[in-house]
Amino acid sequence: MNNLYRIVDANFNRTREGLRVLEELARFSGQNPVLTKTLRGLRHRISVLTERSFPRPKLLANRRSETDPGRNFRPEKRTGKNDLVLANSFRVTESLRVLEEMAALLKPEATASFQDLRFSFYDLEKGLSVLYRKKLPDYPVYVIVDPALIPGDPLAFVKPLLDAGAKIFQLRAKKMPDQLFLKLAQKIRLETEKFDACFIVNDRPDIAALSDANGLHLGQTDLPAVKARQICPDVLIGVSVRSVREAEKAIAERVDYVAVGSVFPTAGKEDAAIVGLKTLKEVKKATGRTPLVAIGGITPENSGSVFEAGADYVAVISTLLTTQPEKALKTLVKSRGEVTSPPAG
């Protein structure tokens, strides 16, 4: 028995298995045909090179799976698609390195080819975050749903906006009892799901998880984003900031978007500190490609200046509490279209 061929066999299997998991995630979860095809192509190239370099009968003859110590290893608990993608990415890169080293001993002329495949996966790996990192929809208005400010049924506020094309809704219910909060969250989630819209829960990772929300929004005094991800591993997480320092901290925690405000005085939060357009511009520079939501006192009249300052989205509630919320919504969308720079994402 040649233990080097056992090593080749085990790592060839690990490479193919890891790539297949990533391929299935790209196909069914990510619904990304380009990435699926690329992963399948790489898996095929690795199979062809391995079987050409190391005769299949020799690999099978040296296989001892029944006595393999690794048979008793148990994988670490996965907390979401993020963990699944990262674990299988590491499996592929590590196994390709082993195949490259074994080729140097058993088939030197194939070493460079295995190295090329390893670096091909390194390049591909950079794009794998699309499998688990969610994005805000490409729609510039972020609707805040606050039962404390909305007269009547919040669902009656949400439904016409969904019909008008709104794609992002955040439920903020700071004073609502937990049972009612959860019940309302579940109802809004059912409605937004019909329109493929994004539903975000403010402050409460437990409510976000129980209502199957698409996202969670956190303030500076809420759970840190890294802790909230333990409860909601597969949702968008955004954080409110008022300064460049807070924005940089949020980026370091790998949040999916940053919300800055209050940009202007607002009836929604009368005690909110006003940061102005200057801070908005500074935060935009600090956050780079991370999507930026501006909040606080934004109206159809001043939204153009907010987008020009760097906001990718405007969060609103008061301006939609009118007799014609659909018209206000369309005006806000139009103001984004008049700014030439594309949204981040």
11 lies in a domain?
A: yes
The answer on pLDDT for 68 being more than 80 is no
Both 166 and 59 in a single domain?
no
154 lies in a domain?
A: yes
Convert the pLDDT of each residue in 193-236 to its tens digit. Answer: 999 999 999 999 999 999 999 999 999 999 999 899 889 888 99
41: containing domain? 3-131
What's the confidence (pLDDT) of residue 270? 61
Query: Where does the pLDDT of residue 132 fall: very low under 50, low under 70, confident under 90, or very high at 90 and above?
Result: low
Q: What is the DSSP string of 65-102?
A: GGG-GGGG--PPPP-SHHHHHHHHHHHHHHHHHHHHHH
What's the confidence (pLDDT) of residue 345? 47
What's the confidence (pLDDT) of residue 246? 96
Both 90 and 219 in a single domain?
no
What's the confidence (pLDDT) of residue 141? 97
Which tops the pLDDT comparison, 19 or 1?
19
342 lies in a domain?
A: no
Residue type, 278: K
Percent of the chain with pLDDT over 90: 71
Query: Where does the pLDDT of residue 269 fall: very low under 50, low under 70, confident under 90, or very high at 90 and above?
Result: low
Convert the pLDDT of each residue in 288-320 to its tens digit. Answer: 889 999 999 999 999 999 999 999 999 999 999
Both 113 and 262 in a single domain?
no
**Distance between CA atoms of residues 299 and 274, nearest Å:** 15
Query: Where does the pLDDT of residue 67 fall: very low under 50, low under 70, confident under 90, or very high at 90 and above?
Result: confident
**CA–centroid distance for 111 within its chain:** 37
Both 75 and 113 in a single domain?
yes
Instruction: Say which CATH number the domain at 214 has.
Output: 3.20.20.70
Which tops the pLDDT comparison, 325 or 73?
325
Both 38 and 161 in a single domain?
no
- Write the burial class of residue 83 (CB in 10 Å: 0-12 exposed, 13-18 middle, 19+ buried): middle
What's the confidence (pLDDT) of residue 8? 97
For residue 338, give both structure tokens. Answer: 């008049």
256 lies in a domain?
A: yes
Q: Please enumerate in sequence order all residues whose Cβ is within 8 A of that of 72, keeping only pairs 6 or more positions apart, or say none.
A: none
- Taking residues 317-343, report their average pLDDT: 82
303 lies in a domain?
A: yes
Both 100 and 163 in a single domain?
no
The answer on pLDDT for 343 being more than 60 is no
- Phi and psi at 194, nearest 5°, equal -65, -30
**Distance between CA atoms of residues 165 and 156, nearest Å:** 15
- Taking residues 270-274, report their average pLDDT: 73
What's the confidence (pLDDT) of residue 195? 95
Both 112 and 147 in a single domain?
no
344 lies in a domain?
A: no
Last residue of a domain, which of 104, 131, 158?
A: 131
Helix and strand tally (H, E) in the chain?
13, 8
Both 94 and 180 in a single domain?
no
The answer on pLDDT for 82 being more than 90 is no
What's the confidence (pLDDT) of residue 28? 87
Number of domains in the chain: 2
Both 95 and 195 in a single domain?
no
Last residue of a domain, which of 85, 107, 131?
A: 131
Q: Which helix or strand (DSSP H or E) is residue 239 part of?
A: strand 236-241
In this prediction the pTM is 0.67
Both 281 and 151 in a single domain?
yes
Tracing tokens 């014609």 back to the chain, one arrives at 324
Which tops the pLDDT comparison, 64 or 101?
101
345 lies in a domain?
A: no
CA angle at 143 for the pair 139 and 149, rounded to the nearest 5°: 170
If you average pLDDT over every residue of the chain, what do you get? 90
- Taking residues 263-292, report their average pLDDT: 87
Both 323 and 186 in a single domain?
yes
67 lies in a domain?
A: yes
Convert the pLDDT of each residue in 13-51 to its tens digit. Answer: 999 999 999 999 999 877 789 999 999 999 999 999 999
Q: CA distances (Å), 143 to each of 11, 18, 174, 233, 329, in order?
A: 50, 40, 16, 23, 9
Convert the pLDDT of each residue in 135-167 to its tens digit. Answer: 899 999 999 999 999 999 999 999 999 999 999
Q: Which helix or strand (DSSP H or E) is residue 143 part of?
A: strand 141-145
Last residue of a domain, which of 96, 131, 166?
A: 131
Q: Which helix or strand (DSSP H or E) is residue 285 part of?
A: helix 276-287
Both 94 and 232 in a single domain?
no
The answer on pLDDT for 278 being more than 80 is yes
What's the confidence (pLDDT) of residue 342? 46
Q: Is 187 helix (H, G, I), strand (E, B) or coil?
A: helix
